[in-house]
Amino acid sequence: MLESNILAMRKFVAPEFVYGAGALQLAGQYATNLGAGKVLLVSDEGVAKAGWTDLVAESLEQAGLPLVLFTDVSPNPRTKEVMAGTELFKQTGCDAIVAVGGGSPMDLAKGVGIVAANGGHILDYEGADKVGAPIPPLICLPTTAGSSADVSQFCIIANPQKEVKIAIVSKAVVPDVALIDPLTTTTKDPYLTACTGLDALTHAVEAYVSTANSPITDLHALEAIRLVSKYLAQTVAKPKDKMLRAKMMLASLEAGLAFSNAILGAVHAMAHSLGGFLDLPHGECNAILLEHVVEYNFPKARSRYAQVARALGVELTGMSDNELLESLLARLKNLRKQCGVTRTLSQLGVGPKNLSTLAEMAYADVCLVTNPRQAQHADLVAIFQHAL
Q: Distance of alpha carbon 27 from its chain centroid, rounded?
A: 22
pLDDT in tens, 278-288: 888 999 999 99
Across the chain, the runs of DSSP E, i.e. the strands, are: 16-19, 39-42, 67-70, 96-101, 127-128, 138-142, 154-159, 164-169, 177-180
Q: Do the strands 16-19 and 96-101 form a parallel or antiparallel pair, or are they unpaired?
A: unpaired
| Residue 260 exposed, middle or buried by CB count within 10 Å (0-12, 13-18, 19+) | buried
Q: Do the strands 154-159 and 164-169 form a parallel or antiparallel pair, or are they unpaired?
A: antiparallel
Q: Do 246 and 138 share a domain, yes or no?
A: no
Q: Do 204 and 221 share a domain, yes or no?
A: yes
Q: Do the strands 177-180 and 138-142 form a parallel or antiparallel pair, or are they unpaired?
A: parallel
Q: Where does a domain end: 122, 153, 180?
A: 180
Share of the chain above pLDDT 90, in %: 94
Q: Is residue 8 part of a domain?
A: no
Indicate if the pLDDT at residue 212 is higher than 50: yes
Task: Give Cα separations from 107 to 10, 52, 74, 101, 205 (angstroms).
Answer: 25, 18, 11, 10, 22
Q: Do 190 and 338 share a domain, yes or no?
A: yes
Q: Which amino acid is at 305?
A: Y
| Residue 189 exposed, middle or buried by CB count within 10 Å (0-12, 13-18, 19+) | exposed
pLDDT in tens, 229-247: 999 999 999 999 999 999 9
pLDDT in tens, 134-183: 999 999 999 999 999 999 999 999 998 888 899 999 999 999 999 999 99
pLDDT in tens, 76-134: 999 999 999 999 999 999 999 999 999 999 999 999 999 999 999 999 999 999 999 99
pLDDT in tens, 24-66: 999 999 999 999 999 999 999 999 999 999 999 999 999 999 9
At residue 3 the predicted structure's pLDDT band, cuts being 50, 70 and 90, is low
Q: Which residues contact 47 (CB under 8 A, 6 or more apart)?
A: 53, 100, 101, 102, 105, 143
Any idea what DSSP says for residue 78? B
Any idea what DSSP says for residue 119? -
Q: What is the mean pLDDT of the chain?
A: 96
Q: Is residue 3 part of a domain?
A: no
Q: Do 146 and 53 share a domain, yes or no?
A: yes
| Domain that includes residue 316, residue range | 186-387
In CATH, what number is assigned to the domain containing residue 170? 3.40.50.1970
Q: Where does a domain end: 135, 150, 180?
A: 180
Q: Is residue 28 part of a domain?
A: yes
Q: How far apart are CA 150 and CA 170, in angstroms?
A: 14
How many other CB atoms are found less than 10 A from the CB of residue 292? 21
Q: Do 214 and 244 share a domain, yes or no?
A: yes
Q: Do 146 and 214 share a domain, yes or no?
A: no
Q: Do 155 and 199 share a domain, yes or no?
A: no
Q: Do 273 and 256 share a domain, yes or no?
A: yes
Q: Is residue 354 part of a domain?
A: yes
Q: How far apart are CA 315 and CA 324, in angstroms?
A: 9
Share of the chain above pLDDT 70, in %: 99
Q: Do 166 and 226 share a domain, yes or no?
A: no
Q: Where does a domain end: 180, 215, 247?
A: 180
Tell me if 257 sits within 8 A of 214, measured CB to CB.
no
Q: Is residue 15 part of a domain?
A: no
Cross-sheet strand order for the sheet of 16-19: 16-19, 177-180, 138-142, 96-101, 39-42, 67-70
pLDDT of residue 4: 62
Q: Do 346 and 383 share a domain, yes or no?
A: yes
What's the whole-model pTM score? 0.96
pLDDT of residue 210: 97
- The vertex-212 CA angle with 2 and 167, nearest 5°, equals 130
Q: Which of 121-130, 213-222, 273-282 has the lowest mean pLDDT?
A: 273-282
Sign of the C-alpha dihedral computed for residues 147, 149, 154 and 158 taken in this order:
positive
Q: Do 111 and 234 share a domain, yes or no?
A: no
DSSP 246-302: HHHHHHHHHHHHHHHHH---HHHHHHHHHHHHH---HHHHHHHHHHHHHHHHGGG-H
How many other CB atoms are found less than 10 A from the CB of residue 288? 26
| Residue 216 exposed, middle or buried by CB count within 10 Å (0-12, 13-18, 19+) | middle
Q: Is residue 17 part of a domain?
A: no
Number of domains into which the chain is organized:
2
pLDDT of residue 2: 53
Q: Do 223 and 151 share a domain, yes or no?
A: no
At residue 346 the predicted structure's pLDDT band, cuts being 50, 70 and 90, is very high
Indicate if the pLDDT at residue 1 is higher than 80: no
